Amino acid sequence: MSPNNGSRGRLLQMLREKALRRAPVVISSGASSTYHINCQMVARYPVGFQLIGSLLAIEIFNRWEPVAVGGLERGADPMAFAVMAYCGPFSAHPVRTFSVRQSPKTHGLNQALDGDLNPGDKVVIVDDVLTSGASIERAIERVQAVGAAVLGVAVLVDREAGGRGKLEAAGYAVVSVFRASEILAEDSAA
């Protein structure tokens, strides 16, 4: 699989127009920032959802052969669903999804994970934005507790804030479709 530059350019433009907000914010890592990238705003558009699915799938399947993709709920869910939808049931790479709950359910079976994840399953952890890597580390811990094998990590945007290095130092390969500097570059030139 190889990326389509037109698709990548179109998704980059959507991220700049719909996801990027320049304002002082506290991001999920607890750090202060002068900008916020809300990939959910792009994933909620049909074309954005399709572009996310295709470009993340390319990054994933150029490196790994997972049976499932997923991560910590909220940020990872639309990324995983987009990859699953892009791959589809009839492709050479059909995948399932799973969601790691922020905290286990307090009713029913008290599950920490939603989805069909089994011991020995080879999975890729996905997320919308990688900052410190803390949410991805939580997802990895919960997935490994089930006995699944984490092949690597794929994110839509790497904020270039140390998370990639932290995860790679822990032994996980990390791929991203975009770096935050790419999204910010054209915005500041406009």
Q: Any residues with CB less than 8 A from the CB of 37 and at least 6 apart, and which?
A: 15, 19, 20, 21, 129, 157, 159, 180, 183
CATH number of the structural domain spanning residue 171 = 3.40.50.2020
Q: Report the domain count for the chain.
A: 1
The one-digit pLDDT tens for each residue of the chain (190 residues) are: 555 679 999 999 999 999 999 999 988 778 899 999 999 999 999 999 999 999 999 999 999 999 999 999 889 999 999 999 999 877 788 899 999 987 655 555 557 788 989 999 999 999 999 999 999 999 999 999 999 999 999 999 999 999 999 999 999 999 999 999 999 996 444 4
Structural domain for 20, as ranges? 5-189
How far apart CA 81 and CA 75 sit, in angstroms, is 11
Angle of helix 5-14 versus helix 46-61 axis, rounded to 10 = 130
Q: Note the pTM of the prediction, 2 decimals.
A: 0.91
Task: Dig out the tokens for 172 from the structure.
Answer: 């996980």
